[in-house]
Homo-oligomer: A and B are copies of this chain.
Amino acid sequence: KVPEHQVAGHLAIDGKLGPLVDDSGRFYKPLQGDGRGNKELAFYESFSSDTRVPDHVRKYFPVCYGSQLLEASNGSGLLHHLVLQDIVSSYRNPSIMDVKIGSRTWYPEASDNYIQKCLEKDRRTTTVSLGFRIAGLQLYEGKESGYWRPGRKEVQSFTVYNVRSILRRFVSSNSSIGNENSDCSFAPSIYGGSAGILVQLLELKAWFEDQTIYHFHSCSLLILFDKESVSKGSAPVPEIKLIDFAHVVEGKGVIDHNFLGGLCSLIKFVSEVLSDSKESSIKDCVESEKPGICTDNGNCQ
């Protein structure tokens, strides 16, 4: 069946080719015919068996179960599909942000034509200026409003200002009212905390400062959480996952400075939302003139 929570990439609707999911928590991604599919499969095979990748890093990648012949979503018959862990299947109402990391999506070995095409898009979006761009998102706003899911055109026109607003809105309880008044009340429990998004990003960063095995071009980092489970303090917890490895090349002894730089830029944005939310809840405590204690996670008691 067609994935319910896919926020970017090719969609398996209207007779088009796209990924499929089943009820057992697996995600089937058609192997694209231009060699990209095989490159991604080759990456997963190499990555799965590479003992240099530590376990605490491996958890940021979907598990790969090899490839399988399946009826394609566009009705074209049997097609090889990459069989992956369906990383959103454990979430009931997942809020998801797909962030394409790096200040360039091209790589030196690519053709001039491909480089110019990527460069043009990198300059038009926030890729060059920010070191990353939002490629898609869905934000669960509650039972009544459902999901906020901006269209592809809207996402592609996001400015630096928009990205900052969305990273705030993403963790706000009043997200549906609009960007300006985001309260960021979920920031301490989603971005912050000992197992929050920021800590995970920092753990990934530490690996990228050292690893020289792979260069991840045009790869996405997903930020996933379920607002309701977060507010109840129950599972599943917020997670980051890397996906889309059709343009991974060998690192050849050099770190992936392109990915690392963009990741550091994202980390700075996330930590700013977090520190702003802490400051504003301290201010709220003071302004309320009640005997209030501000706890470490920024909540007023």
- List, in ascending order, chain B residues with CB within 8 A of A131's CB: 254-255, 257-258, 261
Nearest-CB residue, chain B, relative to A123: B108
- List, in ascending order, chain B residues with CB within 8 A of A128's CB: 108
* Cα-based distance from A131 to B129 in the complex (angstroms): 16
Asked if A104 is at the interface (CB within 8 A of a chain B CB), the reply is: yes
For A103, A160, A164, A265, the residue with the greatest tally of chain B CB atoms inside 10 Å of its CB is A265
Number of copies: 2
Nearest-CB residue, chain B, relative to A252: B160
Assess the B108–A268 pair: CB atoms within 8 A: no
Contact-size category for A: 20 to 34
* Cα-based distance from A25 to B261 in the complex (angstroms): 36
Assess the B265–A257 pair: CB atoms within 8 A: yes
A residues 248-285 near B (Cβ < 8 Å) are: 252-255, 257-258, 260-262, 264-265, 267-268
Assess the A209–B130 pair: CB atoms within 8 A: no
Asked if A210 is at the interface (CB within 8 A of a chain B CB), the reply is: yes
Assess the A257–B252 pair: CB atoms within 8 A: no
* Cα-based distance from A146 to B103 in the complex (angstroms): 42
Assess the A264–B268 pair: CB atoms within 8 A: no
Given contacts A164-B253, A209-B267, 5 further A-B contacts (CB under 8 A): A103-B258, A131-B255, A160-B253, A209-B268, A255-B268
15 interchain pairs (CB within 8 A)? A103-B257, A103-B258, A104-B104, A131-B254, A131-B255, A131-B257, A131-B261, A160-B252, A160-B253, A209-B267, A255-B265, A260-B261, A260-B264, A261-B261, A261-B262
